[in-house]
């Protein structure tokens, strides 16, 4: 089940030139969809806040998306592993366009008292399409480029997302004030049409007949959750990677929800300081993704996977602890903005590095007929842990505990967990001779 690559004869047909063209198309598609999607979600939150006056409605995506991911974990994973990926992505885009068109049509028939009856089913269906798109795309990476270009493709995708993350809040506010929410819906429809157009021009090198034959042979044995559990038992390295990822996302929640709260409510600083910290985080994301995309193309790195994640993990824990110490000992705006901003940049930088390294490893190592379910499991667990982290850390921050101490605790806990888990990953990789 876990091997370097299947279908080598097909992969040999994908030249570096073909791969580079695919990478450019992927950047365009990822940038358009990420920028429009993030700006739309921001505008949706603003619209709900304006009409319902409820802070809870502002974060409705954070409530619904994890639940949808968990409920549809098995069906989406099986869907992606069973059918041709390009066909799934095309139909998914069409379904998403229909959802937006219906949403646009019914939006004008609602008012502030009934808006949630429209928004909730829309967010549910939209979350399903997002989940399908992310899972299917992640499972199809090595159908788009050859072995040496997988890391570059992942890096370029992260670059597009990082740039979109930096631009989307400002664009969201400007366009929301200028066009209103109805105009935003139309922009999202146009953006999806453009992304679909780019997708149609992309070539998926996929062993259809062989893949479908495998599916038919193994259909009786593929039983959703049971199959994934069996797969993880047989492939310990994948299991440990998922465990590290889930714990990492749990502790990162303290940063994402805690920084604005601590800065404004405990340190009594203004929104500008929060903006600086968030900007530095976005800069860190961008630097990491660009740096990884500029690395020389290699089929394999001669360093063990554990070494490629050890340094960023340790840097991450140090940065979280450093951020906590900074917040605990001072409330000077200049120090918080500069030193705290530096640590926020390092945190984002290391997270992107870890994401690219891990995703590249999984996408190049797991058979196509299992990759969809593995990716779906990874995305679902990471998404589902964040509401739990939000509840836990929101409770701690509101108990009048020094926010800096909470960050220090989270960083130290993550460090201890890393020290425990990395040797296990190292031993498994040594046994499997993965270099």
**Cβ-contact 77, 373 below 8 angstroms:** yes
pLDDT given for residue 329 in this prediction: 94
- pLDDT tens string 138-195: 888 778 888 788 888 888 888 888 888 878 877 887 888 888 888 889 999 999 999 9
Give 215's contacts (C-beta < 8 A, 6+ positions apart): 81, 82, 222, 369
CA angle 373, 70, 57 (to 5 degrees): 140
Which ranges of 262-304 would DSSP assign to H, the alpha helix? 271-294
Would you tell me how many other CB atoms lie within 10 Å of the CB of residue 423? 11
8-221 in CATH: which number?
1.20.1250.20
Report the C-alpha gap between 394 and 257 in whole angstroms.
8
Question: pTM of whole model > 0.85?
Answer: no
pLDDT given for residue 305 in this prediction: 64
pLDDT given for residue 91 in this prediction: 95
Please, which pLDDT band fits residue 425 given cuts at 50, 70 and 90?
confident
Domain with CATH 1.20.1250.20 in the chain: 8-221, 226-432
- pLDDT tens string 315-327: 999 999 999 999 9
pLDDT given for residue 221 in this prediction: 42
Nearest to 210 by CA among 218, 202, 221: 218
**Two tokens at 84?**
């041709």
pLDDT given for residue 433 in this prediction: 52
pLDDT given for residue 7 in this prediction: 45
**Cβ-contact 392, 354 below 8 angstroms:** no
Map tokens 């409705």 to a residue.
60
pLDDT given for residue 63 in this prediction: 73
- pLDDT tens string 266-302: 898 887 888 889 889 988 988 998 888 777 665 544 4
**Two tokens at 327?**
């917040």
Map tokens 């047909």 to a residue.
13
Would you tell me how many other CB atoms lie within 10 Å of the CB of residue 309? 22
Report the C-alpha gap between 420 and 422 in whole angstroms.
6
Which ranges of 295-367 would DSSP assign to H, the alpha helix? 305-329, 333-335, 341-365
**Two tokens at 57?**
């409605």
Mean pLDDT of 91-114: 91
Nearest to 81 by CA among 376, 365, 371: 371
pLDDT(383) > 50 = yes
54-63, 145-154, 359-368, 421-430: segment of lowest average pLDDT: 54-63
218-232, 385-399, 408-422: segment of lowest average pLDDT: 218-232
DSSP string covering 88-147: HHHHHHHHHHHHHHHHHHHHTT--TTTHHHHHHHHHHHHHHHHHHHHHHHHHTGGGTS-G
pLDDT(347) > 90 = yes
pLDDT given for residue 106 in this prediction: 92
pLDDT given for residue 8 in this prediction: 47
What are the CA-CA distances from residue 301 to residues 97, 122, 298 (Å)?
Answer: 41, 44, 7
The chain-wide mean pLDDT, for the chain, equals: 82
pLDDT(303) > 80 = no
Mean pLDDT of 194-205: 91
50-64, 104-118, 420-434: segment of lowest average pLDDT: 50-64
Query: Which stretch, 32-36, 153-157, 334-338, has highest mean pLDDT?
Result: 334-338
- What homologous superfamily is domain 226-432 in, according to CATH? MFS general substrate transporter like domains (1.20.1250.20)
Give 83's contacts (C-beta < 8 A, 6+ positions apart): none
């Amino acid at each position: 089940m876990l091997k370097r690559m299947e279908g080598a004869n097909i992969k040999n047909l994908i030249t570096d030139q073909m791969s580079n063209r695919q990478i450019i198309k992927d950047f365009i598609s990822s940038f358009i969809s990420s920028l429009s999607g993030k700006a739309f979600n921001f505008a949706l939150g603003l619209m709900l806040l304006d009409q319902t006056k409820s802070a809870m409605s502002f974060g409705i995506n954070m409530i619904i998306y994890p639940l949808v991911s968990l409920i549809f974990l098995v069906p989406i994973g099986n869907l992606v592993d069973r059918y041709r990926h390009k066909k799934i992505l095309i139909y998914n885009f069409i379904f998403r366009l229909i959802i937006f068109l219906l949403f646009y049509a019914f939006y004008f028939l609602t008012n502030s008292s009934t808006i949630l009856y429209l928004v909730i089913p829309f967010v549910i269906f939209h979350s399903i399409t997002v989940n399908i798109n992310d899972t299917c795309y992640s499972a199809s990476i090595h159908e788009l480029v050859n072995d040496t270009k997988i890391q570059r493709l992942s890096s370029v995708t992260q670059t597009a997302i990082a740039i979109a993350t930096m631009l989307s809040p400002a664009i969201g506010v400007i366009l929301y004030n200028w066009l209103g929410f109805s105009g935003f819906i139309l922009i999202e429809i146009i953006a999806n049409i453009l992304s679909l157009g780019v997708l149609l021009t992309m070539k998926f090198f996929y062993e259809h007949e062989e893949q479908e034959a495998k599916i038919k042979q193994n259909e009786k044995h593929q039983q959703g959750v049971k199959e994934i559990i069996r797969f993880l038992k047989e492939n310990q390295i994948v299991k440990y990677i998922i465990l590290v990822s889930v714990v990492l996302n749990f502790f990162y929640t303290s940063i994402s929800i805690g920084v604005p709260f601590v800065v404004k409510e405990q340190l009594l600083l203004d929104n500008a300081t929060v903006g600086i910290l968030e900007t530095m985080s976005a800069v860190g994301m961008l630097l990491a993704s660009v740096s990884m995309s500029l690395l020389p193309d290699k089929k394999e790195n001669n360093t063990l996977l554990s070494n490629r994640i050890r340094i960023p993990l340790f840097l991450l824990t140090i940065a979280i602890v450093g951020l906590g110490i900074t917040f605990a000992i001072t409330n000077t705006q200049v120090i918080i903005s500069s030193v705290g901003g530096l640590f926020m940049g390092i945190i984002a930088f290391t997270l992107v590095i870890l994401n690219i390294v891990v995703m590249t490893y999984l996408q190049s190592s797991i058979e196509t007929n299992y990759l969809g379910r593995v990716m779906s499991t990874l995305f679902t667990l990471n998404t589902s842990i964040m509401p739990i982290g939000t509840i836990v850390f929101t409770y701690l921050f509101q108990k009048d505990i020094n926010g800096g101490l909470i960050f220090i605790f989270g960083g130290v806990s993550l460090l201890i967990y890393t020290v425990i888990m990395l040797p296990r990953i190292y031993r498994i990789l040594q046994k499997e001779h993965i270099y």
